[in-house]
Chains A and B, each alone.
Chain A
């Protein structure tokens, strides 16, 4: 791996495909903005829910999905700005304790969609520490591509809940847009899980 960047940090479009490699039944919810473009760049999929809105909701969507589908690994990929908006969700997830839920924050320390204003994580706010303090039992440190590969394995183990904060470079990359029709995005994931019966509920 490895086009290096001056920051020396990991690159989001290397991290995300590594997390989604050999995805099996993995269900993916991506926070709005760059994480949604990243999962789409890795290959759009019926089991992807890229969000176009509802900022602050990604982790809780993952919780509802994980509780409904305990046999499937569920991965929420979101940004530091989105996660900072819903820190209470870390406490709610820790209490609900879904073993199959992983939340991975791609932390570039900036609000990319609005012009790269700094977020609090660049000023010392430690999301992984907050997750640990909330009581999330697995909070692995991830700073290398080897650790990303290990994280991918942990996501499939379903022995969480798991939270990981991955510091990434604040690069701006070409947009790779997923479908924008929310009803389609919802229906295709339900059909993937439930079959055609999904549409007769």
Chain B
């Protein structure tokens, strides 16, 4: 488990405002505490189709379908889910499809769970190996500007892009064992 943003954090609402400003119509997601408020806001918006996935690579394929039909998609996931997407990202390069991803990091700043470390440590490297333009946000004030850059680079230059939201922003769950 990761940690939901504090109610006083504004970046999840800023991300939602960005999705609306950039006319994103399909938001694919897997359950995630870090993105929980953003997911709830997308589910509540009649202009957004919020699509719950069984595994993250479904979202990569969904974004290709959305773009084929003239709609913009975004994929919300945790860093562990990035590993599930690797081969499917071939579609973004082959077809030159905008595929922005907003990734909450695990296995990052102050992780407690050793199982999260291998994929968290590899997340940026494997995304970049598959041709994704990756930028990180490690402070709350950087999340929205970095996500906006990720949306712009995807939709204006037709490629997969990702913002990694660092665990320093999210906090690390420690199961009561600090």
Q: Which one of B92-100, B113-121, B134-142, B170-178 is at the interface?
A: B92-100
Q: Is the CB of A185 within 8 A of B58?
A: no
Question: Contact at A64–B68, with CB atoms within 8 Å?
Answer: yes
A76, closest chain B residue (CB): B65
* Interface size, chain B (Cβ < 8 Å): 33
**Contact at B57–A56, with CB atoms within 8 Å?**
yes
Task: Say yes or no: is B26 at the interface (Cβ < 8 Å to chain A).
Answer: yes
* A105 adjacent to chain B (CB < 8 Å): no
How many A-B Cβ pairs are below 8 Å? 123
Within 8 A of A (CB), among B4-38: 25-26
Residues of A69-106 contacting chain B, CB below 8 A: 69, 86, 88-89, 91-92, 95-96
Q: Nearest chain B CB to A85's CB is how many angstroms away? A: 10
**Cβ-based interface call for A164 (8 A):** no
Most A Cβ at <10 Å: residue of B53, B57, B64: B64
Question: With a CB–CB cut-off of 8 A, which chain A residues contact B54?
Answer: 88-89, 91-92
Interface-located stretch among A112-120, A147-155, A166-174, A188-196: A188-196
Q: Is B73 an interface residue (CB 8 A)?
A: yes
Minimum C-beta distance from B170 to chain A (A): 26
B69/A67 in contact, CB under 8 A:
yes
Using a CB-CB cutoff of 8 Å, which residues 66-86 of chain B contact chain A? 66-71, 73
Chain A residues near B133: list those with CB within 8 A: none
A96 to B61, CA, bound (A): 15
- B91 within 8 Å of A by Cβ? yes
Q: What is the minimal beta-carbon distance from B93 to any residue of chain A, in angstroms?
A: 8
Given contacts A52-B94, A96-B51, A183-B95, contact A64 B66 (CB under 8 A): yes
Asked if B60 is at the interface (CB within 8 A of a chain A CB), the reply is: yes
The reply on B62 being an interface residue by CB < 8 A is yes
Report B-chain residues with C-beta under 8 Å of the C-beta of A27. 68-69
A65 to B73, alpha carbons, bound, how many Å?
11
Q: B59 to nearest A CB, angstroms?
A: 8
A62 at the binding interface (Cβ < 8 Å): yes
Give per-residue flags for A37-78: 1 if the beta carbon is below 8 A from chain B beta carbons, else 0: 000000000000100111111111111111111000000000
Query: Bound complex: CA of A86 vs CA of B95, how far in Å?
Result: 21
Given B52, B61, B95, which contacts A64 in the complex, CB threshold below 8 Å? B61
B73 nearest CB across to chain A (Å): 6
Q: When the two chains form their complex, are residues A53 and B58 in contact, meaning their CB atoms are under 8 A apart?
A: no
Chain A minimum-CB-distance residue to B54: A88
Select A55's contact among B26, B55, B71, B87, beta carbons within 8 Å: B87
Known interface pairs A68-B25, A68-B71, A92-B53; A53-B66 also in contact (CB < 8 Å): no
> B-contacting residues of A (Cβ < 8 Å)?
27, 29, 49, 52-69, 86, 88-89, 91-92, 95-96, 182-183, 185-186, 189-190, 193-194, 198, 201
| Shortest 8 CB-CB contacts between residues of A and residues of B | A64-B65, A68-B69, A88-B54, A57-B61, A182-B94, A60-B61, A68-B71, A65-B65
A–B pairs, 9, beta carbons within 8 Å: A29-B65, A57-B88, A60-B62, A64-B62, A66-B69, A88-B54, A89-B58, A92-B51, A190-B67
Q: Given A27-B68, A53-B90, A60-B58, 6 more contacts at CB 8 Å?
A: A27-B69, A54-B87, A64-B73, A66-B65, A95-B52, A182-B91
